[in-house]
Amino acid sequence: RKEVEQDPGPFNVPEGATVAFNCTYSNSASQSFFWYRQDCRKEPKLLMSVYSSGNEDGRFTAQLNRASQYISLLIRDSKLSDSATYLCVVNIGQGGKLIFGQGTELSVKP
């Protein structure tokens, strides 16, 4: 079983749609949680950290359920520029080692 699992998609949605991505992690000792965004043939970039209380950044909302070991990302009012791969990421230890999911591909169409 992979340590971080995501539905690879692709998710094809029209502009303005709301889309949700889910992710599960297997190690209950996981300490920190993130969503990264990766454009085609580019490097990953941090989209947002995920906190237990849930957090929002503009059109993006991230939630964490530690009991279920489940992380989600909600994107409202999708834009063409949101088209990318979204990577669910966890950090297990005290150091900076990140464990990435496979990524979920999103394609927003006009």
Partner 1 sequence: GAGVSQTPSNKVTEKGKYVELRCDPISGHTALYWYRQSLGQGPEFLIYFQGTGAADDSGLPNDRFFAVRPEGSVSTLKIQRTERGDSAVYLCASSFLAGRSDTQYFGPGTRLTVL
Q: What share of the chain is helix, strand, coil (3-state, %, to 5)?
A: 5, 55, 45
Interface with partner 1 (CB under 8 A), residue from 43, 68, 81, 110: 43
Interface with partner 1 (CB under 8 A), residue from 46, 54, 65, 79: 46
Q: Cα–chain-centroid distance for residue 105?
A: 10
Element (H, E) at 104: strand 104-109
Q: Does 106 bind partner 1 (CB under 8 A)?
A: no
Give the footprint of partner 1 on residues 54-73 (CB under 8 A). none
Determine whether 68 is exposed, middle or buried from the number of CB atoms within 10 Å of its CB (0-12, 13-18, 19+).
exposed
Interface with partner 1 (CB under 8 A), residue from 37, 103, 106, 108: 103
| Of residues 74 and 98, the one with the C-beta less far from partner 1 | 98
Residue of 80, 62, 87 whose CA lies nearest to 13:
80
| Of residues 22 and 91, the one with the C-beta less far from partner 1 | 91
Site residues (vs partner 1, CB under 8 A)? 4, 8, 31-32, 42-46, 49, 87, 89, 91, 93-103
